[in-house]
Amino acid sequence: MRLTSFSAAGYRSLRSIRLDIGQVSIFVGENGVGKSNLYRALQLIKASAEGTLAREIAGEGGMNSALWSGTRRIGQPARVIIDAQFVDDETAVCYAYKVEIGLPPPLSAGFAFEPHVKEESLTIEAGRRPVEMMSRKGQAIFARDGDGRRVEHPERVLNSETALALLGGAGRYPEVGDMRAAVAGWRFYHGFRTDADSPVRRAALATTSPMLDEDGANLAAVFATLRHIREDTVDLDRCIADALGGAQLHVPVPGETATFGLVLPEFPQRVFRPQELSDGQTRFLALAGALLSYRLPKLIALNEPESSLHPRMMPALADMVARAAERTQVWVVTHSRELADLIRDRTGSRALTVVRNEGATTIEGMRATGQMPDDD
């Protein structure tokens, strides 16, 4: 299930923005223009699927921090509205998911600043007109079951819960379950810790790991899976050698745990353990695990992946993004025009420049429809 368009309104600096999404989406801009808000707004769709939307909003300061802080029309409710469109490439069925969240009313069972889901819907379009598969207003949810009948879900959802998470795991509503499963599998990599206690630097339990965790904690197992289960590390070895001056990744056969290290050209007889590697080396290896793992999620989002990397690592990073894009959608938010241009050269995807206009985050030259002038 492939993401085709995405819109967000009323969220932080996103007054109202709509984007058409291709195989690779590149957003580049200066500090403070709201690039990370685009990334976070997309992440809220996954949070809706996982049932963690309220926790995600609370973690960034609650609804008062999440809401658009600019002026609103008189009588306009304070809402965050996230809308995403998808297509199933196997069946050509189009899906549309929308969620609206706002502040709780003065007298409610919720906490003062936690988000309340006001409305939520899932529609599909396989013929002449869209069919509503799930709709929710307040605590009441209606959905279509496996026989296509519109029924009321017997369980009353909490105001802070999402119907997508609740119904998607119920086993009674196939299309809702398909949407939840597709989106919950997305991965968001917002940098990797590189301090001495970083999960990336630790050994991992020796279990087959086809995909990197969002915190990178299973990186050693991901490398061991590529080396000893898939037995194919050609792309991985090449990118590491290109980025790290000819270094070689060392991955011993795991025992109870999986480990890795680097062999540097100037010290060919010694393996440098993760605790001995620089921040830049460690972060690049984690990005390699994210982009070149045995199996990739339906979408990978990277937020400022160039952080702590030496400029000579940028071409190899762009190579890895291009390789990943052959198997999945990739969303990249970056400060680096150099990295954006390198990815464009390898994938043909245009880098969109993120700017602020009267306090609102927007894309330079983009129409209100989400199209660029030469998309016609």
What are 81's strand-pairing partners? 9, 100
Predicted local distance difference test score (pLDDT) of residue 99: 96
Q: Which two tokens stand for residue 200?
A: 């990336």
Q: Are 332 and 307 in contact (CB under 8 A)?
A: no
Mean residue pLDDT across the chain: 92
Q: What is the pLDDT of residue 321?
A: 98
Contacts of 181 (CB under 8 A, 6+ apart): 168
| Regions of the chain with pLDDT less than 70 | 106-112, 368-376
What pLDDT score does 366 carry? 78
pLDDT number for residue 138: 84
Distances in Å between the Cα of 283 and the Cα atoms of 53, 195, 214, 241, 323 are 28, 11, 13, 15, 18
Distances (CA, A) of 264 to 45, 193, 203: 42, 23, 20
Angle at 266 between CA 260 and CA 271, to 5 degrees: 20
Q: Which residues, in sequence order, are CB contacts of 136 under 8 Å at separation 6+?
A: 117, 119, 120, 121, 142, 157, 163
> Is 182 in a helix, a strand, or coil?
helix
- The CATH number of 189-343 is which of 3.30.40.10, 3.40.50.300, 3.30.420.40, 3.30.390.50? 3.40.50.300
Q: How far apart are CA 27 and CA 374, in angstroms?
A: 18
| Whole-Å CA distances, 178 to 65, 88, 164, 165, 173 | 32, 10, 10, 11, 9
Looking from the CA of 144 toward its CB, the CA atoms found within 13 Å total: 13
- Phi, psi of 240, deg, nearest 5: -65, -45
Pair 341, 332: CB distance under 8 Å: no
Residue-level pLDDT at 354 = 96
**Helix (H) / strand (E) containing 124:** strand 116-125
Task: Please give the pLDDT value at position 106.
Answer: 65
Q: Where do the CATH 3.40.50.300 domains begin and end in the chain? A: 189-343
Identity of residue 47: A
> How far is Cα of residue 67 from the mean position of the Cα atoms in its chain?
21
Amino acid at position 150, single letter: R
Q: Answer for the pair 1, 95: CB distance below 8 angstroms, yes or no.
A: yes
